[in-house]
Amino acid sequence: MTVDLLDRTAQVTSEAQVYVTLTVSGQLCGIPVLGVRDILAEQPITRIPLAPPDIAGSLNLRGRIVTAIDLRRRLNLPPPDPGQKRMSVVAEQGGELYALLVDQVSEVMSLDATLFERNPPTLERNWALFSNGIYRLDGRLLVILDVARLLDYAIQG
């Protein structure tokens, strides 16, 4: 009986986690694929008067109004180069859709859950506030973003 329990624990911890990878200001990030509703190329965004600076505005997604959040501003990072095209990763929170503006969406990666690490103490505070942890990939750090925390912050202003 104990052996079965240990075997099941080993299976759970070795399961793969699947992420949509993206780049924000040169940093590789991941969002759990199950939290992603859509990926959009650059879209026209309408600025919302009196909105906080990290709320880029709103966009129209198949007839639904979606609040666009600029992740560079949210994470206190420098603005993109003028004319740089950006993409949106659409996620849902509380029945509402939100578009997270990112520099680039890369690929879907399946990673071994046993390689997941908590945020290291050296991770910059602006990343650590919105990160669940990291993966170390071939000399690069993949920061796993906590979409709920990013969006809760947007709702609270």
| 78-105 tens-digit pLDDT | 999 998 999 999 998 888 899 999 999 9
The predicted pLDDT at position 104 comes to: 97
Task: Give the Cα separation of 76 and 40 in Å (integer).
Answer: 23
Q: Is the pLDDT of residue 68 over 60?
A: yes
Closest C-alpha among 155, 118, 141, 129 to residue 30: 141
3-state secondary structure of 53: coil
Architecture of domain 17-156: Beta Barrel (2.40)
C-alpha distances out from residue 59 to 68, 82, 125, Å: 7, 20, 30
Task: Give the Cα separation of 152 and 131 in Å (integer).
Answer: 13
The structural domains of the chain, with segments of one domain joined by +, span 17-156
Query: Average pLDDT, stretch 125-139?
Result: 93
The predicted pLDDT at position 93 comes to: 85
The predicted pLDDT at position 94 comes to: 83
The dihedrals phi and psi of 8, each to the nearest 5 degrees, come to -65, -40
The predicted pLDDT at position 153 comes to: 62
The dihedrals phi and psi of 148, each to the nearest 5 degrees, come to -60, -40
C-alpha distances out from residue 78 to 17, 72, 81, Å: 30, 7, 9
Confidence of residue 113 (pLDDT cuts 50, 70, 90): very high
Whole-model pTM: value is 0.84
The predicted pLDDT at position 8 comes to: 38
The predicted pLDDT at position 151 comes to: 85
- Sign for the CA dihedral angle at 74, 56, 145, 148 comes to positive
User: Bridge partners of 21?
Assistant: 30
The predicted pLDDT at position 139 comes to: 86
The pLDDT tens digits for 1-56 are: 333 433 433 444 458 899 999 999 999 999 999 989 999 999 999 999 999 999 99
The predicted pLDDT at position 12 comes to: 42
| Residue 12 contacts residue 5 (beta carbons within 8 Å) | no
Max intra-chain CA distance, the chain: 63
Task: Give the Cα separation of 105 and 93 in Å (integer).
Answer: 20
